[in-house]
Amino acid sequence: MKSINLKENQFIQFHQKISFKFDGVKYFGYKGDTIASALLRNNINLVGRSFKYHRPRGIYTCGIEEPNALVQIISEYSEPNTRATIKKIYEGMEIESQNRWPSLENDFGSINNLFSPIFTAGFYYKTFMGPHKKFWKNLYEPLIRRAAGLGKPPKDFKGISNHIHHNVDVTIIGGGLNGLLVAKSFINTNYDVLLIDFDDQLGGIINNSNKISLIDNKEPKDWLKETIQEIEDSKNIKILKNTLVTTYNYINHLIAIEDRFVGSKQIEGKVNSTLHKIRTGHTILCNGHIERFLSFQNNDLPGIMLSSSFEKYMCRYGLAPSKEPVIFSNNSNSNSLVFSLIKAGLKPKAYIDSRSGEEIEPNLFDLIRINDVPLYTNSQIKGAFGNKKIEKILVEDSSGALNEIKCDCLCLSGGINPDVHLFTQSKGLLDWDEKDLTYKPSKPFQPTITLGSASGQFNFDNLNSDINKKLKTFKVKQLDVKLELNTNTKYNIEKLWEVSPQKKSLWAKSFIDLQNDVTTKDIRQAITEGFDRIEHLKRYTTNSMGTDQGKISSINALGIVSDLLDKKVNEVGTTIYRPPYAPLSFSAIAGRNCYEFYDPERKSPIHSWHLKNGAIFEDVGQWKRPWYFQINKEESMHDAVQRESKNVRENAGILDGSTLGKIEIKGEDALEFMNLIYTNSFTKMKQGSARYALMLGEDGMVKDDGIICKISDQHFIATTTTGGAATVLGCMEEYAQTEWPNLKVFMNSITEQYATFNISGPNTREIMKKAFPNINFSNEEFPFMTFQFHEFNGVPIRILRASFTGELGYEIYIPSNSAPKIWDNIQSLGKEFGLAPYGTEAMHLLRAEKGYIIVGQDTDGSITPIDLGLSWMIGKSKKDFLGKRSLTRSDTIREDRKQLVGIIPSNKADKLEEGQHIILDKEIKSPVPMLGHITSCYHSSTLGHDFALAVIKNGHSMIGTKAYASTSSMSTTGVDIVKPVFYDEDNKRLVS
C-alpha cells in the first residue's frame, strides 16, 4: 500500500521530523503523527497478529475503536495493548508489535490458522474437559496462559497518576460540531461547564472529514478557531483535552482519564495520567458516532480499513494511506470520502455500493461520473485476497458476474452507529431505528441529553432545532447556525451485514469480531447449539469481549443474529455496555493512594520517642503501635518479649496505651443509658470508682470491652479496645439517636485528647510517687479500680488505678500536647527502679497469664459472656440491655457451647501454637471431632513453659481433664485443660 503525504494539513508539522523504532527498525514521522499514521506514511501495513489464529493484521481505523493495531511501547513503562491509532509519537519512541514469535513477518503462531477449523465457538468449553480433571491444572492451563493475551505485562512500572475531583453544573462530552455549539450557548452564563474531548484538537468531524464546507459563511477552520477562542476566554467553561470519559455512573458521576504526555516522552517523577472524577448536574453527550465494517471472506487483511478512518487520515493527519483505494459501502456516509479523494487530486480505484443506482445520492453520482470512477451498484464484495496484505478483491456485480479488481487498499463502510456506550452505562435505554438500521438512545434514566450523531440524529438540517429543543431546560440563547455541506445532508443506508462466502471452505473466514477472531460461522454454530440469547451468544463465542468491545462490529452481529432467528433486532436486544469505555490502567485508578499513602497511618502522641528507642511497630487498624522494643539490633522478637514481660513482673514496665478509645458520656439520663449499653449494672457503683464492663451485640455475643469510670450518675468515661473505638462510639450514637432519642445524654470521643500511659509492676508505686510527688498513692487513699483528677504542671490529668497485666498498676491520662514531656520525665525517674517500655506483644502475654480476654482474639463474635465465665459481669436485676434477651435463646443456653479454658502442655517442654485444634484422641483418624481451638498462646518465662487460652465445647466441665492439641504435621501434643488463669489467682499483686 503506497501512501502519499498531503502537506497542506494544519495539524501535522511537516517541518519537524521525528524518528522512532518499530520492531527494531528506525522510521521517520512528523510531529502530530500517531504511531498508526507514521507507520502508514512508511507504507507499513502489517502491525500485529490476531489473538487466536495469528493472522496478519493491519491498521483498520483511525481512532479508539481500533481492534488490531495494538502495540507495546518499550520506551515507556512497557505499556501493552496501546492503540497505535491513538498514541502520538515522540522522538526516540520504541515500539514493538505483539502476539508474534519470532517475528511479525514469520510468526510461529500462524500454525493456529491451520487448526482453525477446530478452534470454533465454545472451543475452550468443549475441549479442555479431560481425559482427567488434573489435566486442566497441570497441562492445559499453563499452556493457555502462556499463549493468552496480546501484549506482555510491564515489569518495572514507575508511572505516576493523580486524581482531580470536579463539581460542575454541565458536562459536555465531545468537542465536535455539536459539543462546541452547546458550549458556545453556555458562555458566561451562571452554569459551571466542563467541555471534554479525547483529541488534542477540538473539532470532531470538522477536523476529521470534509463533510462541512462552510459554517456561518466561514471556512470551518476559521469558525473553529474563533469559537474555541471564545470558549477559552469565557469565565465559566473549562476545557479538558486529551481526556477520555470512560465511565458514566449513577448519579451523573463521570470518570475520565487524561493523558498528560501526548506527543512527548513521559518524564519520570511527573504525573503521566490524571483520573478525573466529575460530579455534574447535567451530562450532554455529543460524543459522535462510530462507523461499522462489513463481513466477507478475509475482511481482516492488512490494507482494509473503514472509509471514515481513511478520510480522517487525510483530513486530520495529512496522509492518504493509498493513492487509489477501492470503496465498498451500503450507505451515504462514505460519500465524503469520495469527495475528499477527488479534492486531493486522487481517485478511487472503484466505488462499489450494495444499493441500487436510484438510491445513490445525485451529488455522489455526479462526482463519480465526472471523475470517471468505475462504479458498481447493486454489487457486493465476495472476498479479499492476498499474502499478508490485500492484493485483489472479487466483486459480484448487478448481473451476478464476478469481477476481479487488483487493489492495495479497501475502504469499508457498513453504516454508522451512535456511540451509545456512555448512554447505556448511564442506564438509559436504546431503541432500534429500522430506517437508519442502528440502535439510538431512547429513554434516559439520569439528567442526560444526547445531541448530534450521538443521539442518532444523522440529518444536518435538524442541527439547530435539535439543540434548541434539548437545551430548553437551561436558560441559554437559541442557536441559528448556518451550515453548508460538501455532501448530502441526509443519511441513507440499505441493510447489509455480511456477504455470503464465494466458496465453502473450512478455512474461509468472514470475521465478525476482529480482536477476538470470531467469525460469522461461529455465530451460526453457536445459534445451532442453542445459544440464541444475545448474552449467552456473546460469552460462548467471545464476540465483542475484546478490549475494543466490538465497537465496529457488535451491531453487525445483532443484525446477523436477528436474520438467523427471524426476530426483530429489538427483540434480539443487545448486550450491556460495561465501563470502562476503553482500557483504564490500575495506576490511574489508584492515583496517589499507593505505597506509603495506601492507608492513613495513625500515630500516638509518643510516636517519635518510640522511633528513637528501638520500637518495632505493628499495625493495629490504622494505628502504628510498638510491638516490642529492641535493646540492640541482635535482639530477636522472642527474646525482647520475654525480657519485657519478665521485667514487668519483677520491676516495672510502661506501655503507650493512647490508641485505646476513650468516650465521655454526660447527661441527665447517662446512668440509664450506660446500663442499657453495657452488661454491668452501674447503679450502685460509687462515684470515683471504675469497673471492667462488656458490651454485647443484640445477638448476645461479646462485641467490645472496656473500663467504665463513674464520675457521677450523670457523667461517665468509658474506654474501648483500639480497634473498637469508632464502632463503640458509633453504636452508642446509633442507639441514642434511633432507639432511645428520649434519653437526655450526649457522648464525645476523647481518644485523641488524652495520651494514656499504662504503668505496672511491683515498683510502680515508688515510680508514681517520684513522678507525681503531690499525690498520695497509698493503698488506702488510692484503692484498686478507683480514679482521681489532679493538676500537674498546670495541666489537668486523670489517674486510674487498674492494670491489664495483673501487677500493681496505673493508667495515666494526660492531654496529648503535654504528654511527651511527662513520658520522658517518668522514663528518667523510673530508671532506678528498673522501669522499661514494653510493647503490645508483651502486653498480650502478660494479660493471658491472668486469663484476661482480648476481644477479637479470644472472641470472634460467637462467644457470649457466659462462655467466657464472666456471668458475674451481667447485672442480673437489669430489665434490659443490649443483647440481654439473646442470652436466653435456645442456642445461647446450650450446654455444649464453646467455653473459655486454659491449656498447658502435659509435658512442660512441649510447644503449643495459636490455632491448634483441641481433640480427644491421641491419634488423628478422620473424621476427627474437633472440640475447639487455641485462641492465644505464649511462652511464659514466669511459668517456665508454654500456656494458652482456648475455647472448647463444654470447656467449663472439662477443666481438670486431659486432651490433645493437633499439630500441622498430623501428630498430637498432650495437654491439660485447666482454669483460664495461670498467675496470682487471688489477685494479691493487683489489689495491695
Partner 1 sequence: MTEVIRSDGIEIKKKVIQQIILRGSGDSKFNNHINKSLKLLPPSDNLRIISNDNYTLAKMSFDQWNLIFEKEIEIKKLNKILDDLNKSPLILATNISDSQVFFEIQGKNSFDILNKLTHFDFREKSFKKSTAAQTLLARVDCSIFNLDLKLLLSCNRSFADYLEDRLIDAVNY
Partner 2 sequence: MLIINCPYCGPRDQSEFSNGGEAHVKRPDGSKEIGDREWGEYVFIRANPKGLFYERWVHTHGCRKWFNCVRDTSTDEILVTYKLDEKKPNLNNFKSVVKTPSGEPEVGSGNFTVEK
Which chain residues interact with partner 2 by CB under 8 A? 249-251, 253, 279, 424, 427-432, 439, 442-445, 570, 573-577, 698-699, 730, 733-734, 737-739, 741, 879-880, 884-886, 889-890
Pick one of 192, 197, 258, 704: the residue that binds partner 1 (CB under 8 A).
192
The CA-atom distances, in angstroms, between 100 and each of 65, 92, 119, 584 are: 22, 23, 18, 24
Collapsing DSSP states into helix, strand and coil, what is residue 589?
helix
Q: Shortest distance, CB of residue 742 to partner 1, whole angstroms? A: 12
Of 576 and 991, CB closest to partner 2? 576
Residues in the chain: 992
**For partner 1, what does the binding mask look like between residues 132 and 171, x meaning CB under 8 A?**
----------------------------x-xxxxxx----
User: Which among 350-358, 440-448, 541-549, 752-760 is the span making contact with partner 1, rule CB under 8 A?
Assistant: 752-760
Pick one of 596, 780, 880, 895: the residue that binds partner 1 (CB under 8 A).
596
**For partner 1, what does the binding mask look like between residues 340 and 369, x meaning CB under 8 A?**
------------------------------
Backbone angle region of 737, left / alpha / beta, with phi > 0 → left and psi within -120 to 50 → alpha: alpha
Cα–Cα distance measured from residue 215 to residue 481, given in angstroms and rounded to the nearest whole number: 7
Binding at 596: pick from partner 1, partner 2, none (beta carbon under 5-8 Å per type): partner 1
Asked if residue 235 binds partner 1 (CB under 8 A), the reply is no
Of 237 and 729, CB closest to partner 2? 729
Cα–Cα distance measured from residue 970 to residue 717, given in angstroms and rounded to the nearest whole number: 49
Place of cell 503462531: 109
Of 339 and 813, CB closest to partner 1? 813
Of 97 and 556, CB closest to partner 2? 556
Pick one of 667, 688, 834, 856: the residue that binds partner 1 (CB under 8 A).
667
User: Which among 81-89, 536-544, 601-609, 772-780 is the span making contact with partner 1, rule CB under 8 A?
Assistant: 601-609
Binding at 510: pick from partner 2, partner 1, none (beta carbon under 5-8 Å per type): none
Dump the DSSP string for 726-767: HHHHHHHHHIIIII-TTS--EEEE-TTTEEEEEEESTTHHHH
The CA-atom distances, in angstroms, between 773 and each of 777, 791, 809 are: 9, 12, 17
Binding at 959: pick from partner 1, partner 2, none (beta carbon under 5-8 Å per type): none
Backbone angle region of 16, left / alpha / beta, with phi > 0 → left and psi within -120 to 50 → alpha: beta
The C-alpha angle with vertex 773 and arms to 770 and 777, in degrees rounded to 5, equals 85
Calculate helix-pair angle for 177-186, 220-233, nearest 10 degrees: 40
Cα-Cα-Cα-Cα torsion 536, 539, 541, 543, nearest 10 degrees, comes to 110
Of 105 and 734, CB closest to partner 2? 734
Asked if residue 238 binds partner 1 (CB under 8 A), the reply is no
In this structure, the number of other CB atoms found within 10 A of the CB of residue 402 comes to 11
Confirm if 119 and 112 have CB atoms less than 8 A apart.
Answer: yes
The CA-atom distances, in angstroms, between 390 and each of 326, 407, 593, 647, 910 are: 11, 7, 49, 85, 78
Helical segments of 164-239, H only: 177-186, 205-208, 220-233
Asked if residue 124 binds partner 1 (CB under 8 A), the reply is no
Confirm if 878 and 884 have CB atoms less than 8 A apart.
Answer: yes
Q: Shortest distance, CB of residue 289 to partner 2, whole angstroms? A: 18
Of 219 and 431, CB closest to partner 2? 431
Of 885 and 908, CB closest to partner 2? 885
Name the DSSP class of 781: T
Asked if residue 600 binds partner 1 (CB under 8 A), the reply is yes
Q: Shortest distance, CB of residue 520 to partner 1, whole angstroms? A: 46
Binding at 427: pick from partner 2, partner 1, none (beta carbon under 5-8 Å per type): partner 2
Q: Shortest distance, CB of residue 822 to partner 1, whole angstroms? A: 13
In the chain, the amino acid numbered 729 is L
Confirm if 390 and 384 have CB atoms less than 8 A apart.
Answer: yes
Q: Shortest distance, CB of residue 746 to partner 1, whole angstroms? A: 4
Of 289 and 607, CB closest to partner 1? 607
Q: Shortest distance, CB of residue 670 to partner 1, whole angstroms? A: 9
Asked if residue 465 binds partner 1 (CB under 8 A), the reply is no
Q: Shortest distance, CB of residue 726 to partner 1, whole angstroms? A: 10
Q: C-alpha grid cell for residue 59?
A: 491498521
**For partner 1, what does the binding mask look like between residues 272 and 301, x meaning CB under 8 A?**
-----x-x----------------------
Of 423 and 609, CB closest to partner 2? 423
Strands 237-240 and 193-196: parallel
Cα–Cα distance measured from residue 302 to residue 316, given in angstroms and rounded to the nearest whole number: 21
Asked if residue 817 binds partner 1 (CB under 8 A), the reply is yes
Q: Shortest distance, CB of residue 749 to partner 1, whole angstroms? A: 8
Cα–Cα distance measured from residue 330 to residue 385, given in angstroms and rounded to the nearest whole number: 21
Binding at 746: pick from partner 1, partner 2, none (beta carbon under 5-8 Å per type): partner 1
Name the DSSP class of 887: G
Asked if residue 777 binds partner 1 (CB under 8 A), the reply is no
Of 146 and 165, CB closest to partner 1? 165
Q: Shortest distance, CB of residue 554 to partner 1, whole angstroms? A: 34
In this structure, the number of other CB atoms found within 10 A of the CB of residue 783 comes to 12
Of 592 and 790, CB closest to partner 1? 592
Place of cell 467490645: 704
Show contacts with partner 1 in window 605-624 (CB under 8 A).
Answer: 605, 623
Cα–Cα distance measured from residue 166 to residue 172, given in angstroms and rounded to the nearest whole number: 13
Binding at 343: pick from partner 2, partner 1, none (beta carbon under 5-8 Å per type): none
Show contacts with partner 1 in window 873-912 (CB under 8 A).
Answer: none
Q: Shortest distance, CB of residue 737 to partner 2, whole angstroms? A: 5
Show contacts with partner 1 in window 625-664 (CB under 8 A).
Answer: 659, 664
In this structure, the number of other CB atoms found within 10 A of the CB of residue 913 comes to 14
Asked if residue 945 binds partner 1 (CB under 8 A), the reply is no
Strand partners, 49: 56
In this structure, the number of other CB atoms found within 10 A of the CB of residue 736 comes to 22
Of 42 and 886, CB closest to partner 2? 886
For 545, phi and psi rounded to 5 degrees?
A: -100, 5
Determine which helix (DSSP H) or strand (DSSP E) holds 872, and give its type and residue range.
Answer: none
Segments of 876-961 assigned E as strands: 898-905, 917-919, 932-940, 945-953
Of 667 and 834, CB closest to partner 1? 667
> Closest Cα to residue 375, out of 345, 341, 347?
347
Of 250 and 507, CB closest to partner 2? 250
Q: Which residues in this chain contact partner 1 in the complex, by CB under 8 A?
A: 160, 162-167, 192, 271, 277, 279, 592-593, 596-597, 599-605, 623, 659, 664, 666-668, 714, 744, 746-754, 794-796, 815-818
